[in-house]
Structure formats: structure tokens, C-alpha cells
């Protein structure tokens, strides 16, 4: 018939859950895609019990299926246009309808309990966690632990030497997942864990854990310099109103405590010099920006972040450096606010005079 097609794929999945003596859960389900009602015949089909189907937009409904001489036949109903799920037998352990994925019930990162935000956990800068422990639960159906997959930065975690340990509960509806990342280089990481349930729809939880093993503040000693003379990992900007003054921002080679230093020099007029770097911060935590400064100008830092809703951005300034010909240490507290994103730290000089910065660090303050 012109314009009529049928695409059918059989998904026969044997689900083994650790319940008592490895009792097996078996499901035979079809995904059928058609643009018109069709008749489907399966030879050598097993005896069916309570066959059902779920149309693309709708709930599970009884399916009129008939068996004769070992073959099973059914007509795809008129509302089953598009991708339709067909279940030949509904076993006692299967609960329908079920449109909900498993949920992330608990999490521990490096042995410390954390509170997930939905299905996401943001850790910020941490030492490489020896283990990421997740507990996943499903209220209706067993978890298909044989199909759990874990990726590190988009690749199977085994490719980088990591391992995954699974411990299903007796009920089959809870699963303890231990992700062992292994040795990690200094970088930013996202661990993605996909956990499907055993329902015909394979409702799937995708939980993510993001963290960084790199220093929160990169190139804090200003030793890495790009070809244009600017410090790598830092952006440079300035403004001065309608009558901007004269200024100079540079990496002062060999003028740091050991090596280079950042130099913000206000020469004349009104000027505001900023050198900034985006940083990974966890809202509600307290951080310490520390380092050394000297010069006859007044230096300080700002923490700026965009708002995730309709409120105002975060714009916090620190204390000021004292004028000194010698290097003086400083340590300023920074507190990223909840409901913000894209945290950026700026080093500043907003006046005539010269300020040098060197050996900067950003650390989370112990709680």
C-alpha cells in the first residue's frame, strides 16, 4: 500500500536481579513504528498472558492477540500510529503504568555525604575522589542493573582505568553504585551515570557528578604568558568613562616574588583596570583568595556572578591592599551566593598608581 510502512524491532531482554537465589525477571517487548494499522504475525510465539500496548500518546491498553497453531497474531490498533510499545505478557513483578525513571536517593563523594540537586551533584574543586557512591531507587519496578553505564567526560570510565561496582538490593528496586575513577590528571570532570528501570519503556535516570581536580585559580603566579604578552587563563579589560585616562597592564617579567608578577599601572586620569578568570565555585561555601601585593596604588578583587533568575547579579568587592614597596600577604574571603552562575574573580586597580600581584591561590575554606 503506497505511503504505508512498518518498522518493528524485537527487544527480548532477560533481566537478572539479585533477589534471593538470583531469581530472573524476563520481559519480551516490541517497539513497533507504523503509519497505519497493520497486522503482525509472530511464528513460534510462547503463550501470552494479558498482552498490552502503549500508543505514542496514551496509557497502556489491552491488546487483542490471538494464537493459532503456534503463531501469534494481532492487529495494531488505529491509535498506535508512530512508535508503539507492545508487551506480550505482563509478569507479576511488573507494575504498569510506569512513566517515572529511577531516582537518586543518596550520594557520597570521597566518603562524605552530599545532597543532590535533583539528579546533579556539583563538587567544585576537590582532590580526585577515590569513590563516588550513589544509591538509586525506583518506586515501581526493578532496576535494570545489567544496563547501567558510567562515562567520564563522555567516554566509558573503563577507558581511563576506572571501575564500577554494583550492589542491587533484595527487592531489585534499589541499587548501590560505586564509581572508582582511578588516577586523574588535573582537569575538569563530569561523571555521567545512566540507570534504566526494567519496564518496557526503559525509563532512565541520568545522574551527573561534576568536579575539578585542577587548581581553582590557574596561573596564579603569572608565569605562563601568551604571545601577546598577556597572562594565560586571564582576561584583560578596562574602562574610564567619557574621558578615560592612561594606563598599562602587563606581566612584569622577573619582578615577582619568584619569577613574574602582574602589573596594573594607572598613569593618569580616570581608569578602572581589571584582570579576570572564571572559577568553579559552590554556592554557599566560603573561599579564601590569597596572595601577595605591593606598590603605591590601591589594589583589590571582585567576585562577580550572573543571576539564574530575575534577580541581580552578585558583585562583591574585597578589602584593599596597603601601599608598600615590599611584598605584603593578603587573604580575602569570597562567598558565592546561591542562585548564581558563571562566577568570575577580577583583580583590580581603579586609581593612579601601580599595583603588583603575585602567587595567588583560591581555596575552599574548611567548614
Spatial separation of the C-alpha atoms in residues 36 and 32, rounded to whole Å? 11
Buried-exposed string 324-334: b where 16+ CB fall within 10 A, e elsewhere: eeebeebebeb
Q: How many other C-beta atoms can be found within 10 angstroms of the C-beta atom of residue 355?
A: 27
Inform me whether the pLDDT recorded for 241 exceeds 70. Answer: no
pLDDT band at residue 326, thresholds of 50, 70 and 90? very high
Residue 56 in any domain: the answer is yes
Contact indicator for 146, 124 with CB cutoff of 8 Å: no
The pLDDT of residue 3: 41
pLDDT in the model for residue 15: 31
Burial, 255: exposed, middle or buried (Cβ in 10 Å; 0-12, 13-18, 19+)? middle
Task: Name the residue with higher pLDDT: 91 or 15.
Answer: 91
Q: For a pLDDT cut of 70, what percent of the chain falls above it?
A: 92
Are 108 and 77 part of one and the same domain? Answer: no
pLDDT in tens, 148-199: 999 999 999 999 999 999 999 888 999 999 999 999 988 889 999 999 999 9
Residues of the chain by 3-state class (helix, strand, coil), percent to 5: 0, 55, 45
Confidence of residue 26 (pLDDT cuts 50, 70, 90): low
| Cis peptide bond prior to 97, omega within 30° of 0 | yes
pLDDT (tens digit, 9 = 90+) per residue, 281-321?
Answer: 888 889 999 999 999 999 999 999 988 777 788 999 999 99
Q: Which of 337, 296, 304 is nearest to 320 (CA)?
A: 296
User: Where residue 36 sits, what CATH number does that domain have?
Assistant: 2.60.40
pLDDT, residue 128, reads 85
Mean pLDDT of 77-104: 91
Q: 247 and 197, same structural domain?
A: no
Residue-number span of the structural domain to which 150 is assigned: 103-212
| DSSP, residue by residue, 260-300 | -EEEEEEEESB-EEEEEEE----TT--EEEEEEEEESS-EE
Which pLDDT band holds residue 22 (cuts at 50, 70, 90)?
very low
What mean pLDDT is predicted for residues 138-151?
Answer: 94
d(CA 185, CA 224): 19
In a domain, 38, yes or no: yes
Summarised one tens digit per residue, pLDDT across range 27-57 is 778 888 888 888 888 887 778 888 999 998 8
Overall domain count for the chain: 3
Percent of the chain whose pLDDT exceeds 90:
59
271-286 core/surface letters (b: 16 or more CB in 10 A; e: else): bbbbbbbebbbbbeee
Residue 356 lies in a domain: yes
Domain membership of residue 294 (yes or no) is yes
Query: Does any domain span residue 163?
Result: yes
**Together in a domain, 360 and 267:** yes
Amino acid at each position: 500500500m503506497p505511503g504505508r510502512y512498518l518498522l518493528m524491532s524485537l527487544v527480548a531482554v532477560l533481566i537478572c536481579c539479585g533477589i534471593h537465589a538470583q531469581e530472573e525477571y524476563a520481559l519480551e517487548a516490541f517497539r513497533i513504528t507504523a503509519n497505519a494499522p497493520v497486522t503482525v504475525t509472530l511464528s513460534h510465539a510462547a503463550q501470552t498472558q494479558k498482552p498490552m500496548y502503549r500508543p505514542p500518546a496514551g496509557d497502556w491498553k489491552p491488546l487483542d492477540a490471538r494464537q493459532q497453531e503456534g503463531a501469534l497474531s494481532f492487529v495494531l490498533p488505529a491509535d498506535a500510529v508512530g512508535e508503539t510499545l507492545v508487551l506480550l505478557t505482563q509478569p507479576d513483578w511488573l507494575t504498569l503504568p510506569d512513566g517515572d525513571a529511577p531516582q537518586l536517593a543518596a550520594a557520597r563523594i570521597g566518603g562524605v555525604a552530599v545532597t543532590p540537586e535533583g539528579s546533579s551533584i556539583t563538587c567544585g574543586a576537590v582532590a580526585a575522589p577515590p569513590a563516588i557512591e550513589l544509591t538509586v531507587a525506583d518506586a515501581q519496578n526493578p532496576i535494570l542493573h545489567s544496563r547501567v553505564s558510567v562515562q567520564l567526560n563522555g567516554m566509558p570510565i573503563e577507558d581511563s582505568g576506572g571501575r564500577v561496582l554494583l550492589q542491587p538490593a533484595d527487592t531489585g528496586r534499589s541499587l548501590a553504585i560505586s564509581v572508582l575513577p582511578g588516577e586523574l590528571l588535573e582537569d575538569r570532570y563530569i561523571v555521567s551515570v545512566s540507570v534504566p528501570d526494567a519496564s518496557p519503556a526503559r525509563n532512565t535516570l541520568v545522574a551527573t557528578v561534576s568536579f575539578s581536580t585542577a587548581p581553582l585559580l590557574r596561573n596564579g603566579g603569572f608565569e605562563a604568558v601568551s604571545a601577546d604578552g598577556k597572562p594565560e587563563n586571564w582576561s584583560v579589560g578596562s574602562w574610564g568613562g567619557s574621558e578615560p585616562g592612561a594606563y598599562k597592564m602587563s606581566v612584569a617579567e622577573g619582578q615577582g616574588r619568584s619569577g613574574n608578577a602582574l602589573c596594573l599601572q594607572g598613569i593618569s586620569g580616570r581608569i578602572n583596570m581589571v584582570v579576570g578568570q572564571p572559577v568553579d565555585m559552590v554556592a554557599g561555601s566560603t573561599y579564601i583568595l590569597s596572595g601577595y601585593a605591593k606598590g603605591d596604588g590601591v589594589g583589590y578583587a571582585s567576585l562577580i556572578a550572573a543571576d539564574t533568575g530575575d534577580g541581580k547579579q552578585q558583585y562583591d568587592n574585597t578589602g584593599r591592599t596597603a601601599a608598600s614597596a615590599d611584598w605584603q600577604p593578603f587573604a580575602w574571603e569570597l562567598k558565592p551566593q546561591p542562585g548564581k552562575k558563571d562566577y568570575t574573580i577580577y583583580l583590580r586597580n581603579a586609581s593612579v598608581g601601580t599595583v603588583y600581584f603575585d602567587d595567588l591561590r583560591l581555596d575552599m575554606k574548611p567548614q
